[in-house]
Structure 1
Amino acid sequence: MIRGRVWKYGDNVNTDVIFPGKYTYTVTDPAEIASHALEDLDPTFARGVQPGDVVIGGRNWGCGSSREQGATCLKYAGVGAVIARSFARIFYRNAVNNGLPALTCAAAVDALQHGDAIEIDLDAHVIHSAVGDFEFPPLSPSVHGIVAAGGLIPYLKTHLAATGEAR
């Protein structure tokens, strides 16, 4: 179960806004990466986000560059999930690789407001809030497994060790 508060933003938020490109090659420490999350869009985000909080975006969340730092900085900041009307394909893949649930649910995007408390049940594929419950499409079994493992690398390490394929 993911529990947190909503941080709500709009359409076409690109990866350079999620994690400023000027830090791409100079910032590598996870805490410092997290400290720059959404700084150009919302300077209060990195200081105010709490573990489990949820980012809500509009259409085409994570468009732009293929750099993985857009998803990585949110994960390092403690974001429990991102909910949007739609995701740029590369952001979605980077989120999954980081073990960060990327959920599409237009009804939740429309109804939820900044600061609302929510709970997300990935197994039941439902978002619970004071303004209602919202179903979202279930994650595929492979994506659910990667997210549950905490990302693609932990998933592969566990899977390969379990099958005796680890070297």
Structure 2
Amino acid sequence: MKEPINGKAWKFGDDISTDLIAPGRYFHLRTNLPELAKHVLEDADPEFPSNVNPGDFVVAGRNFGLGSSREHAPTIIKLAGVSAVLAKSFARIFYRNAINVGLPVLICDTDKIDEGDELEVDLSAGIIKDITKGIEITFNPLPDVMIRILNDGGLAAHIEKHGDFKLED
């Protein structure tokens, strides 16, 4: 993953559930994730799936990814081209699943970020630059091991590349 990451903010509120991320009516597509990704977050914002661009960010409030532990929810966000999800907090299983599939998830204050703002994110430094507003927002930088997992494309790819999972290389 090349840093810093640049893209446009797509703003969502609190309590964005896995049902909003991966609508249940498309359950039959869970074996065709690229097709399911065409419907990602459409119940939260009908414009999102057809207008999101590679590199864009999902920016949300509290408790992003609550609900059932649909592993495909973070996967289809990533397949839609989203480079990271920024939120005030995440449901625990969604957070873990996101890292496992190689989708960066950052816990930060998202109040000052608006829909359409151009952002630049440095995962290692823990800095979000809102280019549109000329402000910086800090977050706890991701641990090196998480950055390595993300750079390798997720946990399975990391283990395939390095063998048994180790916290330190």
TM-score, normalised with respect to structure 1? 0.91
Q: Which structure 2 residue ranges, 5 or more long, are not aligned?
A: none
The equivalent residue for 1:59 is 62
The equivalent residue for 1:23 is 26
Contact 1:24 1:69 in 2 (8 A): no
Shift of 1:128: 0.9
> Equivalences for 1:24-39 in 2 at 5 Å?
24-39=27-42
Q: Secondary structure at the match of 1:51?
A: coil
1:13 and 2:16 aligned: yes
Shift of 1:138: 1.2
Judged with a 3 Å threshold, the aligned counterparts in structure 2 of structure 1 residues 101 and 54 are, in CA distance, closer, same or farther, namely same
Give the whole-Å Cα distance in 1 for the aligned partners of 2:25 and 2:92. 23
Give the whole-Å Cα distance in 1 for the aligned partners of 2:96 and 2:27. 19
Q: Which stretch of the first structure deviates more once superposed, 134-143 or 38-47?
A: 134-143
Contact 2:38 2:49 in 1 (8 A): yes
Return structure 1 stretches of 4+ with deviation > 4 angstroms: none
Shift of 1:154: 1.0
Shift of 1:26: 3.3
Q: Secondary structure at the match of 2:102?
A: coil
TM-score, normalised with respect to structure 2? 0.90
The equivalent residue for 1:115 is 116
1:46 and 2:59 aligned: no
Shift of 1:93: 0.6
Q: State the percentage of identical aligned residues.
A: 47
Q: Which residue identity does 1:14 align to in structure 2?
A: S
Give the whole-Å Cα distance in 1 for the aligned partners of 2:10 and 2:46. 12
Question: Is the helix fraction higher in 1 or 2?
Answer: 1
Q: Secondary structure at the match of 2:8?
A: strand
Q: Secondary structure at the match of 2:65?
A: coil
Could you say what the CA RMSD is over the residues aligned between the two structures, in angstroms? Answer: 1.5
Q: Which stretch of the first structure deviates more once superposed, 19-28 or 135-144?
A: 19-28
Deviations 1:66-108 (A, max 9, x none): 01121011000000000000000011011101111100111xx
Give the whole-Å Cα distance in 2 for the aligned partners of 1:31 and 1:86. 27
Deviations 1:111-144 (A, max 9, x none): 0100000011112111111320111101122211
The equivalent residue for 2:100 is 97
Q: Which residue identity does 2:108 align to in structure 1?
A: C
